[in-house]
């Protein structure tokens, strides 16, 4: 997240799971664009013959429509939905932006590469709309699979060749625990960015440590040292909390400590923090105890599977 990559270079270890952003685009014979957002239970309509204004309603979608322009096409009907709630920390808004970018690029017959798709989605979300955040979600959703992504003055996506048995064992070892809290990540990110710009000692130390941990966790994953991976995940959470006091809260701490007491080796909150999901690593023989305890505490717990596909579009 800026400004750290520009100053010292950044990296993340990421993987895509079986949760998706879906979209359909049906061409029209007029200049009208209609939008239906299933997640927000909201609809909108506009014409390509007038300026498209972002007015606080479905701005993510309107900004994408505006960025692709009003020339060279008739209108279309968009229907969009996601399999995770907005504000969950699983990159749902960025994944939806990638979905929109893919749909519109295909509609406008633009030959864009994966890197160009992710960069265009980044420009719309971060620059056109001014939504604070990093690059990693956009590139992860576009490319799909296990990746080690490096950020300097450019982005380099390094696909990782994870052996099938390691990926399957990791799947069986992971849980997602929903804290019950959805949040606007911008507030957490803005505080973290302010502290980075001010060279706050603890924030910079936490960022540097997380960068080192991403490298160590990549090595553990590639070599199948999954218990080390789980413990490093817990260390990453400790370091993440140093970035801002808004990243954790009493509910997150309660659920995390409960999971550890029942056998989880480590975990961390996904996304910016402040709510959303906790990703937990558990020995399979103790996983059921962790699930029972968290559900008894009122949390929603789910298992996941990895998906190696990134952005996929097709005609009907």
CATH of the domain at 137: 3.30.230.10
Do both 168 and 138 map to the same domain?
no
pTM of the shown model: 0.93
Do 33 and 138 belong together in one domain? yes
Query: Distance between CA 158 and CA 88 in Å, rounded?
Result: 26
- Which structural domain, as residue segments, surrounds residue 134? 17-143
Lowest mean pLDDT among 20-34, 114-128, 139-153, 183-197: 183-197
Q: Do 128 and 172 lie in a common domain?
A: no
Average pLDDT over residues 242-270: 95
Tell me: do 167 and 139 sit in the same domain.
no
pLDDT tens-digit series, residues 123-149: 999 899 888 888 999 999 999 999 999
For residue 107, pLDDT beyond 80: yes
Q: Is residue 6 assigned to a domain?
A: no
pLDDT for 289 beyond 80: yes
Residue 151 domain-assigned (yes or no): no
The rounded distance, in Å, linking the Cα atoms of 121 and 88 is 19
CATH number for 248: 3.30.70.890
Any bridge partners for residue 22, and if so which? 81
Q: Is 11 exposed, middle or buried (CB count within 10 Å of its CB: 0-12, 13-18, 19+)?
A: buried
Residue 11 maps to a domain = no
pLDDT recorded at residue 56 = 85
Q: How many independent structural domains does the chain possess?
A: 2
* 63 preceded by a cis bond (ω within 30 of 0): no
Each residue of 185-243: pLDDT tens digit?
Answer: 777 888 888 888 888 899 999 999 999 999 999 999 999 999 999 999 999 999 999 99
Confidence of residue 7 (pLDDT cuts 50, 70, 90): confident
Query: Which residue numbers are catalytic?
Result: 137
């Amino acid at each position: 997240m800026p400004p750290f990559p520009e100053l010292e270079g950044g990296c993340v270890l990421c993987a895509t799971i079986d949760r998706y952003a879906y979209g359909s685009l049906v061409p029209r014979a007029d200049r009208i664009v209609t939008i239906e957002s299933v997640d927000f239970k909201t609809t909108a309509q506009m014409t390509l013959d007038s300026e498209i204004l972002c007015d606080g309603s479905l701005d993510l979608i309107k900004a994408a429509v505006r960025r692709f322009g009003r020339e060279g096409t008739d209108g279309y009907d968009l229907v969009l939905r996601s399999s995770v709630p907005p504000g969950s920390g699983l990159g749902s808004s960025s994944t939806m932006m990638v979905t929109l970018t893919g749909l519109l690029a295909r509609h406008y017959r633009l030959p864009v590469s994966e890197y160009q798709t992710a960069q265009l989605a980044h420009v719309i979300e971060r620059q056109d709309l001014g939504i604070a955040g990093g690059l990693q979600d956009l590139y992860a959703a576009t490319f799909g699979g296990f990746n080690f992504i490096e950020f300097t003055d450019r982005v380099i996506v390094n696909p990782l060749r994870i052996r099938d048995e390691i990926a399957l064992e990791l799947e069986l070892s992971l849980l997602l625990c929903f804290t019950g809290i959805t949040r606007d990540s911008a507030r957490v990110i803005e505080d973290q960015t302010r502290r980075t710009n001010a060279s706050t000692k603890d924030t910079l130390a936490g960022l540097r440590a997380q960068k080192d941990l991403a490298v160590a966790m990549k090595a553990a994953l590639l070599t199948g040292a999954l218990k080390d991976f789980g413990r490093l995940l817990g260390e990453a959470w400790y370091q993440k909390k140093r970035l801002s006091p808004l990243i954790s809260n009493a509910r997150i701490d309660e659920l995390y400590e409960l999971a550890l007491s029942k056998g989880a080796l480590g975990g961390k909150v996904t996304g910016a923090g402040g709510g959303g999901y906790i990703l937990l690593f558990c020995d399979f023989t103790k996983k059921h105890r962790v699930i029972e305890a968290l559900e008894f505490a009122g949390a929603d717990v789910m298992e996941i599977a990895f998906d190696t596909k990134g952005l996929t579009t097709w005609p009907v």
